[in-house]
Structure 1
């Protein structure tokens, strides 16, 4: 749910780069062996949570085992019995604990604590993010996130269940997604084809199209923010992490992110505004954002092009250790389909990516248009049935080796915000 957004000059943040992508493979290979082949105005630290939660929350676990089902107790990141939730129970308002049983601490951040809970009457698992709102920064980022989450209700978007608001704290109750991130699923299943990719993308496009219809631009779409609701094969895929999401998407922005007040304008009218703040995750930023031009929800479609490229290959279309060179490649639209497995990937899949990675935002398809692309509609029926899993895993392993990282921070699922291992390094802003 992203109650926070790191705002900093693009060159000021450390390069986290591809860690969010390769962490899934690192966790997987440790378990099975390696042979398988606008917006808040304060500078607020954005960190990632464990099973679904949001910005301002730091993940405390090592690379995770397969996620638990709804009926299982979450295992703490240090492998020891989880008793730390008890110390936070006293901080919860009695009106909250009367309704929810506090089970386990999930994460913590600058202004928040996140715990796994169960509804006392229904025993339904959820997660509560407790936000400290006495400080102006905490109030602002919390209000901005709630302004978005209160307006969304879709099968492929993380759902806000209810909110408890008090003078010092706000308690957000959200869905608990336990099925893992998109790339976790790709790596762990052992078999992955273009058809599998289109099945996931159809759900993502449905969620993104819904958001854009409400005039909401996500601005931080990436594989880490696409989570499966449960571990089963029939799980729905959720768009999460709304720490940088905003209404708008040409005239001045009049939406008050602190109060959620957009006057008498409808979502469609608000969606005509242009956005200007430079923010997001570097490798997924659209050219118009880097060029400091007014932009729209088309930036989300660019990010979906990057995501599709990653899902089909295990590599990034735009990547460089130098932030300057990375941005230059993005602005120039300089990427290729060279190397394995691209020779075996269909022309239809490449066409889908090329349309989304159009340098001119006006040339990119909207979400509903992308969902009608022949590759998606036919679910890659005419494409190669080759198993891409080995190539994807090898590319992830190769990138992990180049990074020299023996341990990659886990990137937790989120109900709408950033997460723990990420922090400021993945977010840029002005």
Structure 2
């Protein structure tokens, strides 16, 4: 399948772009509690730092820790004051861990049980903030699954809405892959089974996530037995099961795991490298776009590299709409044919030909947990490829980074709930 006249598919409608930017909220790793982005810190240091540094004496470790504690305390007080007293009466605000245009996410502790949670505070005075909040809340209130981030309770007030959510502290999927030191196809199937179970639940409710990527797959706790959670529903939309219900963008929905895939969406949104070809081609689409994204995720988990990647957005989109990817380079010669078949079933250009989430979790490679594959440790190749990709990304010029951001790729703080 080509890309028609060869032009770059549109980046997305204004509404799609705004929905990407405005719903941006972050959950960083548990140790990353600094409110200000790194760029802002560097900007504040500015030129005076380079001219005056010779007159400064290095602070001791204890002095630096005191300064950090003071800054942290000031930030907690600042954001605690913004919270409604009826919320702080139940939850103790511990740290700000994410921020967006309409929202703040804080780590909290339930005063009675001392159990940690996250609270997402959303400003709903502006119409767009109200729309984003209503859309995300409608999705979260319908979801109940061990592999999907759970909404605990909601406080709704005229100006703000507070969503109490599970706090995932186990880190991102790829961070876990790298930190293990040993990773095989069997390990990959264990992670993918959890993700497929969560996505299958979403699709059974008529919910399409629309921004599945490794950064939005978080482990609940650092332990080896932790469950993996699908998070970040800022771009999710839903329809109905049984009777059709209109979604926030006018879509209607049904059970995506069944035979009925007739309902469709139209808003162009998501993270470029994970966007399905039908979205780029501005065709009506369904929850099959999540399956495509899962195919990209599985490819990355097995190799540490992207199936579709190019500094040129034009070439990236062309390779996606043509389905141009390969199994060349390390570690693909050591990856089983069954694993490659699984990837091909998810990365089918025709959305109707892709497996559903329920079918994918019953694929022989997943069911047998890669029993027939080599138990070769893929960790070294995966880590090396990830490092090379990070190096290439950091060496790109600022204009390239800006282009990525404008297309909806979220960088810096992100929502993990």
RCO greater where, 1 or 2, for CA within 8 Å and sep 6 or more? 1
Q: What TM-score bracket applies, with the shorter chain setting the length?
A: 0.7 to 0.9
Q: Which residue does 1:326 correspond to in 2?
A: 316
Structure 1 residues 294-313: aligned runs within 5 Å: 294-313=284-303
In structure 2, do the counterparts of structure 1 residues 403 and 92 end up closer, same or farther at CA, with 3 Å as the change threshold?
closer
Q: Which residue does 2:213 correspond to in 1?
A: 222
1:355 equivalenced with 2:345 (yes/no): yes
* Distance of 1:200 and 1:283 partners within structure 2: 21
Deviations 1:219-257 (A, max 9, x none): 1101000000000000000000111110149xxx96252
Does the CA contact (< 8 Å) of 2:10 and 2:280 recur in 1?
Answer: no
Q: Which residue does 1:202 correspond to in 2?
A: 193
Q: Which residue does 1:20 correspond to in 2?
A: none
Q: Which residue does 1:167 correspond to in 2?
A: 158
Q: Which residue does 2:134 correspond to in 1?
A: 143
* Distance of 2:36 and 2:24 partners within structure 1: 11
Q: Which residue does 2:307 correspond to in 1?
A: 317
1:109 equivalenced with 2:86 (yes/no): no
Q: Which residue does 2:328 correspond to in 1?
A: 338
1:156 equivalenced with 2:143 (yes/no): no
1:87 equivalenced with 2:87 (yes/no): no
Q: Which residue does 1:390 correspond to in 2?
A: 380
Per-residue deviation, 1:404: 3.8
Aligned residues: 359
Per-residue deviation, 1:39: 7.5
Q: Which runs of 5+ in 1 are unaligned?
A: 1-7, 14-37, 63-75, 407-416, 424-430
* Distance of 1:344 and 1:371 partners within structure 2: 22
Per-residue deviation, 1:403: 2.9
Deviations 1:88-136 (A, max 9, x none): 2222111111111111111222111211111111111001111111111
* Distance of 2:133 and 2:370 partners within structure 1: 41
* Distance of 1:382 and 1:43 partners within structure 2: 41
Return structure 1 stretches of 4+ with deviation > 6 angstroms.
38-41, 265-271
In structure 2, do the counterparts of structure 1 residues 275 and 256 end up closer, same or farther at CA, with 3 Å as the change threshold?
closer
Structure 1 residues 2-41: aligned runs within 5 Å: 10=11
* Distance of 2:11 and 2:389 partners within structure 1: 23
In structure 2, do the counterparts of structure 1 residues 52 and 240 end up closer, same or farther at CA, with 3 Å as the change threshold?
farther
Q: Cα RMSD (Å) of the superposition?
A: 3.2
Does the CA contact (< 8 Å) of 1:156 and 1:203 recur in 2?
Answer: yes
Q: Which residue does 2:281 correspond to in 1?
A: 291
Q: Which runs of 5+ in 2 are unaligned?
A: 1-8, 39-64, 397-407
Query: What SS does structure 2 have at the residue aligned with 1:10?
Result: coil
* Distance of 1:402 and 1:261 partners within structure 2: 38
**Aligned match of 2:370 in 376, 380, 386?**
380
Structure in which a larger fraction of residues adopt helix: 2
